Homo-oligomer: A and B are copies of this chain.
Amino acid sequence: MSGDVSRPSGRALDALRVVSIEPGFSHHAEGSALIRMGGTEVLCTATVEPKVPGFLRGQGLGWVTAEYGMLPRATHKRGQREAARGQQSGRTLEIQRLIGRSLRAVTDRRAMGELTITVDCDVLNADGGTRCAAITGGWVALHHAFSKLVRNRVLPAVPLLGQVAAVSCGLTDAGAVLDLDYVEDSAAEADANFVLTDRGAIVEIQASAEGAPFTDAQFAALHTLARNGVSALFAAQHAALPKD
Q: Residues 184-228 of chain A: 1 if any B CB is under 8 Å from the residue's CB, otherwise 0?
A: 000000001000110111111111111111111011000100000
Which of the candidate stretches A77-85, A146-154, A232-240 sits at the interface with the other chain? Answer: A77-85
A45 interfacial by beta-carbon distance below 8 Å: yes
In the complex, chain A residues 124-166 whose Cβ is within 8 Å of any chain B Cβ? 124-127
When distances are taken between beta carbons in the complex, the residues of chain B under 8 Å from A93 are: 89-90, 93-94
A113 interfacial by beta-carbon distance below 8 Å: no
Assuming the contacts A43-B124, A202-B213, A202-B216, asked whether A83 and B73 have C-beta atoms less than 8 A apart, the reply is: no
When distances are taken between beta carbons in the complex, the residues of chain B under 8 Å from A73 are: 26, 28-29, 32, 45, 47, 120
When distances are taken between beta carbons in the complex, the residues of chain B under 8 Å from A192 are: 205
Contact of A74 among B28, B69, B89, B96 (CB under 8 A): B28
A96 CB to nearest chain B CB (Å): 8
A49 CB to nearest chain B CB (Å): 7
A20 interfacial by beta-carbon distance below 8 Å: no
Instruction: Please state if A86 and B84 are interface contacts (CB–CB under 8 Å).
Output: no
When distances are taken between beta carbons in the complex, the residues of chain B under 8 Å from A85 are: 83
Interface residues on A, range: 35 or more
Assuming the contacts A78-B49, A127-B27, A213-B197, asked whether A71 and B202 have C-beta atoms less than 8 A apart, the reply is: no
A183 CB to nearest chain B CB (Å): 13
Q: Residues 87-111 of chain A: 1 if any B CB is under 8 Å from the residue's CB, otherwise 0?
A: 1111111101100010001100000
Contacts A/B (CB < 8 Å), 29 sampled: A25-B124, A28-B73, A28-B125, A45-B71, A45-B73, A47-B72, A47-B78, A49-B78, A67-B84, A71-B120, A72-B120, A86-B87, A101-B208, A101-B209, A105-B209, A105-B211, A105-B213, A196-B213, A200-B215, A200-B216, A201-B209, A201-B214, A202-B209, A202-B216, A204-B208, A205-B205, A205-B206, A205-B219, A216-B223
Which 8 A-B residue pairings sit nearest by Cβ, starting from the closest?
Answer: A90-B93, A201-B213, A82-B83, A45-B73, A47-B78, A83-B83, A205-B207, A27-B125
